[in-house]
Structure 1
Amino acid sequence: MKKVYVLDTNVLLQDPRAIYMFEDNEIVIPAVALEELDSKKRNMDEIGRNARYVSRLIDQFRTKGKLHDGVPLENGGVLRVELNHKSFVRLQDIFIEATNDNRILAVALNLQQEEHTKPSPRPVILVSKDALMRVKADALGVQAEDFLSDRVVQYSKSYSGCLELKVAKTKIDQYYATGRLSIDELKQAAALKGKSFFPHQFLILKDELGSPASAVGKINADVSQLERLKCQDDPIWGVKARNVQQRMALELLMRDDIPLVTLTGKAGTGKTLLTIAAGLCKTEDEQQYQKLLVARPIVPMGKDIGYLPGEKEEKLKPWMQPIYDNLEYLFHTKKPGDLDRILAGMGSIEVEALTYIRGRSIPEQFIIIDEAQNLTKHEVKTIVTRVGEGSKIVLMGDPEQIDHPYLDEESNGLTYLVEKFKDQPLSGHIRLEKGERSPLAQLAAQIL
């Protein structure tokens, strides 16, 4: 049976192509949603871009017929702009204020009442990203759903970059003796239970009989064999891996044949410090790259403090302070101003806001994108497509700590990038599990 889906404005702002996600059913856009789109279209951000995209998309459908009568979609569905079911009479005694949300609810409720008068009524479903909107719809007896097509995968079930396998001890001994194991041998020796291997995935081999014997390796780019880690367990700019996941992260960061690296993990797991240390080593010591570029999105936690005075560098200082904290630790600065003098003398370290990255081409640089969980899918695409010849880019963040109002741990750009690139030989990923900042930080990450 075909259905009628009434779309809330936030669905269109989240995914401007959402109208194509409902197969051959009827899609209804309330007139008030067009008003809300119009109020957002001047924004110079992702929301404004999506509002303008949806506006142009709907405008193109005018050539196919009258929007208020319904126009056909390519997938067999029908798109309609609803003008005639906006009466607020049925809601005015329950929700007194005629807000935009309540007006959209009224459209869904009135459409449902009309369908019930037909011999074969179609289900009317309100689709909204707003949890309270869905709650109010349910109270009115209108079926409501979240828009799930923008979600990639639950973070807890997402690709971690590391897999533990139980094998015979003879295989572990063979790995230590030869430095490699073929993937075909591993598939025969381990009970995979439907799990797949990916390029640059790390494996922890453990004895199936329970002895202390174990080994760590990384699958090569063509997923043909397991190899030893090339990165030695030596300090890099004074930073040494404290656990096995951090050692895996350094392996990915120090490998020049892996131009895209993604790191996820809770606060205090060492993502930023390890990455900056590796970037300094590659830029200053090995001179593999001409410059170290560090950037992060301008998304505040909590209420924004408003406009900041001064030049660009002064405006960026509060946003980039976490980066400077790590640089101060690595350079062992003790007095105020020491870091500024060091960075001015080196000239190869650039700290930038992602606001200015569009249109750039960035060759031969070690690029670090911090707090990437606050990026949308479109923004991640924009950033990664800026990477020029000979550059390496590292995106890191904690999908469980998102400050962006329209993203969650299942729909953010970082999770999207990890899942889309996990089977590509040019990328590597690892999820850091153990916090190393302090016992208090680790406890807070676990229980709060």
Structure 2
Amino acid sequence: MEKIYVLDTSVLLSDPNAFFSFEDNDVVIPAVVIEEVDSKKSYQDEIGRNARRISRILDNFRNMGKLHEGIPLEVGGTFRVELNHKAMTFLADYFVESNNDNRILAVAKNLQLEENQKPQPKKVILVSRDAIMRVKADALGVEAQDYLSDKIVTASDFYQGYVEKDVNPSAIDMFYMDGSLSVEYFDEEAFYPNQYVILKDAYGSSKSALGRYSLQKKSIVPLYFTKDTVWGIHPKNAQQKMAFDLLLNDEVSLVTITGRAGTGKTLLALAAGLLKTEDEKVYKKLVVARPVVPMGRDIGFLPGDKDEKLRPWMQPIYDNLEYIFSARSGEDIEDIMVGLKNVEVEALTYIRGRSIAKQFIIIDEAQNLSRHEMKTIVSRVGEGSKIVLIGDPEQIDNPYLDYSSNGLSYVVEKFKDQALAGHVNLIKGERSPLAQLAAELL
């Protein structure tokens, strides 16, 4: 049965190509959606870029016919801008305020009432990223759905970067003696490149081993990481050892690290970056950047030059650097930063247009980036550089992203088959017992 999909503004602002995601069904946007999109097109961020993209798509649609009458889409189905069915009569008894959300709801409800009078009615479905909009639609008897086309994976299927295997203890002995374990031991089971394997005794003893799958050798091999500490930082659990192994392996040029607050993502990345730039001189510079996305209400414009404006946003980076330097030398962070000419801390705002070669790049809070922004950043990576993307997909401050549609989750899933990439999800909080409990309970 053909359907009529009524799109909310939030859908288009999160994915300007949403028009083409509904196969051979009818796609409708209320006129008020165009007004909301128009109000966002001057924004100098991802929302503004999407609004301008939507405007260009709609302008191209005009060449195909009158938008209020409907035009055919290449993927099948039709698209139209709904100018009628905007009467608020049915909603007045339930939602008094005449705001834009309620106007969109009114269009969906009135279309449904009209379709129900036909011999072969089409199902009307409101598509919105706004949970409250979906709740209100459901209360009105209108089917509502979240927009799923840009969701790369569900939270339960998210790639962890490692797997546990119960094996015969002789396999663990073989791994230690030979320095590898062929994947033929696991029959036809496939591993992703650079996926970690925790070998456990199937009979319940404490015997175990930790290895990484090498695509080149078709075997589970020991970790590249052999140091006890990196710039005074000691890995406290198996997942942190995996993270250091990826961070210090020069053959892996894209590293993604996820985990809840306090699991050590930023600390490990900074320690590895300092080792690679300051001690081993593999990279010319350590670049640390993070998106300027506030948690809660924005504090507005800040006084001072660029460095002074960025300092509040970059303070979490400086906190971790101070911890590393105090553990290593006990010197003051300001004095050390003056002496470190090849460590650069900046906002992602300034990364577009750059070509970054021979540098160790850390992008913090990457879960607040969209797929387009992530593509822009990763495509800046030049010859001989390594990029590390870290973040917690459970803590997203961008209103148009969620666990399954943010740029970090997108990169993890898209690159898990690639030999030059590696991922690990940190699960144990090491900041403090209180921080661990807060991450689990709150």
The TM-score bracket by the shorter chain reads over 0.9
SS in 1 for 2:344: strand
1:155, CA displacement in angstroms? 2.8
Match of 2:200 in 1: 206
SS in 2 for 1:428: strand
1:183, CA displacement in angstroms? 1.3
1:66-87 Cα distance to aligned partner (Å, 9 max, x none): 1111111111110111112222
Select the residue among 221, 224, 234 that pairs with 1:227: 221
**Residue 392 (structure 1) aligned with residue 386 (structure 2):** yes
Match of 2:163 in 1: 163
Match of 2:191 in 1: 197
**Residue 302 (structure 1) aligned with residue 292 (structure 2):** no
State the alpha-carbon separation in 2 of the partners of residues 223 and 402 from structure 1.
38
Match of 2:138 in 1: 138
1:365-409 Cα distance to aligned partner (Å, 9 max, x none): 000001111111111111100100000000001111111111111
Match of 1:356 in 2: 350
Task: Return the letter of the residue paired with 2:399.
Answer: P
State the alpha-carbon separation in 2 of the partners of residues 187 and 306 from structure 1.
59
Match of 1:22 in 2: 22
1:197–1:223 Cα contact (<8 Å) kept: no
Match of 2:80 in 1: 80
Match of 1:147 in 2: 147
State the alpha-carbon separation in 2 of the partners of residues 241 and 173 from structure 1.
24
Task: Return the letter of the residue paired with 2:422.
Answer: G
**Residue 435 (structure 1) aligned with residue 420 (structure 2):** no
Task: Return the letter of the residue paired with 1:57.
Answer: I
1:106-152 Cα distance to aligned partner (Å, 9 max, x none): 11111111111211111111111111111111222111111111212
SS in 2 for 1:396: strand
Is the deviation greater in 277-286 or in 228-237? Answer: 228-237
Is the deviation greater in 337-346 or in 163-172? Answer: 337-346
State the alpha-carbon separation in 1 of the partners of residues 58 and 426 from structure 2.
44
State the alpha-carbon separation in 2 of the partners of residues 26 and 227 from structure 1.
53
Is the deviation greater in 220-229 or in 368-377? Answer: 220-229
Task: Return the letter of the residue paired with 2:100.
Answer: N
2:232–2:328 Cα contact (<8 Å) kept: no
Q: How does 1:199-278 map to 2 (within 5 A)?
A: 199-222=193-216, 224-278=218-272
Match of 1:116 in 2: 116
1:236, CA displacement in angstroms? 0.9
Select the residue among 263, 271, 284 that pairs with 2:278: 284
Select the residue among 304, 320, 331 that pairs with 1:326: 320
1:183–1:223 Cα contact (<8 Å) kept: no
2:90–2:106 Cα contact (<8 Å) kept: yes
**TM-score of the superposed pair, with normalisation by structure 2:** 0.97
State the alpha-carbon separation in 2 of the partners of residues 373 and 212 from structure 1.
36
1:156, CA displacement in angstroms? 3.6
Between the two proteins, the alignment pairs up a number of residues equal to 442
State the alpha-carbon separation in 2 of the partners of residues 435 and 256 from structure 1.
27
Give the aligned CA root-mean-square deviation in angstroms: 1.7
1:233–1:247 Cα contact (<8 Å) kept: no
Gaps of 5+ in 1: none
1:336, CA displacement in angstroms? 12
State the alpha-carbon separation in 2 of the partners of residues 153 and 105 from structure 1.
29
Match of 2:414 in 1: 420
State the alpha-carbon separation in 1 of the partners of residues 410 and 75 from structure 2.
25
**Residue 445 (structure 1) aligned with residue 439 (structure 2):** yes
Task: Return the letter of the residue paired with 1:124.
Answer: V
Task: Return the letter of the residue paired with 2:167.
Answer: V
State the alpha-carbon separation in 2 of the partners of residues 333 and 313 from structure 1.
26
1:157-185 Cα distance to aligned partner (Å, 9 max, x none): 20000100111112111111101111122
Task: Return the letter of the residue paired with 2:56.
Answer: R
Is the deviation greater in 49-58 or in 83-92? Answer: 83-92
1:325-349 Cα distance to aligned partner (Å, 9 max, x none): 1111121189999322322222000
Match of 2:50 in 1: 50
Select the residue among 348, 364, 379 that pairs with 1:370: 364
After superposition, the Cα gap between the structure-2 partners of 1:338 and 1:209, relative to the gap in structure 1 and judged at 3 Å, is closer
1:188-240 Cα distance to aligned partner (Å, 9 max, x none): 6xxx6xxx410000001112122222111001134711111121142111111
1:12-51 Cα distance to aligned partner (Å, 9 max, x none): 0011111111110000011110111111111111111111
Task: Return the letter of the residue paired with 1:95.
Answer: F
Match of 2:373 in 1: 379
Match of 1:347 in 2: 341
SS in 2 for 1:351: strand
1:8, CA displacement in angstroms? 0.6
State the alpha-carbon separation in 2 of the partners of residues 393 and 67 from structure 1.
45
Gaps of 5+ in 2: none
SS in 1 for 2:206: coil
**TM-score of the superposed pair, with normalisation by structure 1:** 0.96
SS in 2 for 1:325: helix
Task: Return the letter of the residue paired with 2:332.
Answer: D
2:231–2:328 Cα contact (<8 Å) kept: no
Percent of pairs with identical residues: 62
1:155–1:410 Cα contact (<8 Å) kept: yes
Task: Return the letter of the residue paired with 2:122.
Answer: R
**Residue 316 (structure 1) aligned with residue 322 (structure 2):** no
